Amino acid sequence: MSITRRPTRQIRVGKVAVGGGAPISVQSMTNTDTRDIAATVVQIQRLSRAGCEIVRLAVPDQEAAAALARIKAQVDIPIIADIHFDYRLALAALEAGVDGLRLNPGNIGGPGRVKAVVKEAAARRVPIRIGVNAGSLEEEAMAAYGGVTAAAMVASALKHVRLLEDLDFYDIKISLKAAEVPLMLEAYRRLAAEVDYPLHLGVTEAGRGLEGAVKSAVGIGILLNEGIGDTIRVSLTGDPVQEVAAGFAILRSLGLRRRGIELISCPTCGRCQVDVEGVAARVQQDLQDVARPLKVAVMGCAVNGPGEARQADVGIAGGPGFGLLFRHGRPVRKVKEEDMARALIEEARRLAAEEGEEENAHE
């Protein structure tokens, strides 16, 4: 059953279309000091290799703003400048050639300053993301709606939207992030019924590792399944490359995007006769750089193993001291248990390369 996505306007963040039926893009944010150009470029390049399609950079001062042009010249994915409080940083970021701004028009000064930023963004055809966060909601909205509520978050977003619309600016996308999943869900649902702008989904301050990924998958996944959302960021404490992997895993699980390895591995039980966990961990680690969509199975016994392995693009089903390697449903050969991971990795890489060559031959 396919998901019917909510119709929206389309904007462009550099080369990436957002909304209007475009593929749901995966974003991340650097955690380097933007003023450290070399370190920031290295991290963006790592994110790009992992599949990141848009990257956001913190711009806390003029030195960081001045670094943007040099960073942008060395990377090939769109850059969004994250701006707070000082409208001059937004103007400097635009002059540096950024592909998008993330700001709240209400906290960068009076109408004249907002107008200056919007005029420059419009001239450069640079979109603006209005980012509302439950943790920094303005006092006015909380007072009017009884605290940090979904209604207050939506009211805040709409107030900022009207500021831009009054200046005849419509290249807008919106986020309504909260650390509490139910609050985030209600806010996005309410906003989706009010406007047709593309929405950027995320659970803010989700945490680290497994817990953060689960919270993000629940919040983002529920909305995506309802057709809401045009671009996503999984916010995790630590290496932002993991955010990209989690983002594509969420999209892949709903059939919305296919990129990289989808690992299928059994949970193990008393029937298991090989080290499924060890093989799966090595396979996932060694194939993380493969961009071509492949379903790879690591199964541990003869009950469900052969069937699951056959349904994958490549797979291995364990037996007592050996594994049976499958490719597109057909057995290839038996391998010793100690060679299972290596054999599966080699077969997966071979298949990815062959399918890539075949695709190029038909272009």
For 325-363, the three-class secondary structure string (H helix, E strand, C coil) is EEECCEEEEEEEHHHHHHHHHHHHHHHHHHHHHHHHHCC
| 3-class DSSP state of 102 | strand
Q: Evaluate whether 34 touches 58 at the Cβ level (below 8 Å).
A: yes
Output DSSP code: residue 32: S
* pTM (whole model) above 0.95: no
Do 121 and 94 meet the contact criterion of CB atoms below 8 Å apart?
A: yes
- Annotated ligand binding at 272? The verdict is no
Give the pLDDT confidence score for residue 349 in this predicted structure: 94
Q: Quick check: 227 and 6 in contact, CB under 8 A?
A: yes
- CA 80 to each of CA 7, 11, 30, 162, 333: distance values in angstroms, whole numbers, following the listed order: 24, 14, 11, 22, 49
Beta bridge partner(s), residue 19: 10
308 assigned binding-site residue? yes
Q: How many residues does the chain have?
A: 363
Phi, psi for residue 256 in degrees, rounded to 5: -95, -30
What ranges make up the beta strands (E) of the chain? 10-13, 16-19, 25-29, 54-58, 79-82, 100-103, 128-133, 172-177, 200-201, 231-233, 261-265, 294-299, 314-319, 322-327, 330-336
The three-class DSSP label of residue 270 is coil
Predicted local confidence at residue 319, as pLDDT: 80
d(CA 132, CA 205): 13
What pLDDT is attached to residue 362?
35
pLDDT at 269: 67
Tell whether residue 266 is among the known ligand binding residues.
yes
| 297 burial level (CB within 10 Å; 0-12, 13-18, 19+) | buried
CB 171 within 8 A of CB 159: no
- Token pair 């093989």 is at which residue? 279
Q: How many CB atoms lie within 10 A of CB 280?
A: 23
Token pair of 39 as six digits: 């370190």
8 Å CB contact between 177 and 131: yes
Q: Please, which residues have CB within 8 angstroms of residue 146's CB and are 6 or more apart in sequence? A: 152
The residues of the chain scoring below 50 in pLDDT are 357-363
In this predicted structure, what is the pLDDT of residue 357?
46
Single-letter residue type at 26:
V
Encoded amino acid at 160, one letter = H
- Please give the Cα distance from 40 to 48 (Å, whole number): 12
Q: What one-letter code names the amino acid at 311?
A: Q
In whole angstroms, what separates CA 254 from the centre of its chain?
Answer: 14
**Angstrom distance (rounded) from CA 276 to CA 306:** 14
Q: Is 301 annotated as a binding residue?
A: yes
pLDDT at 273: 72
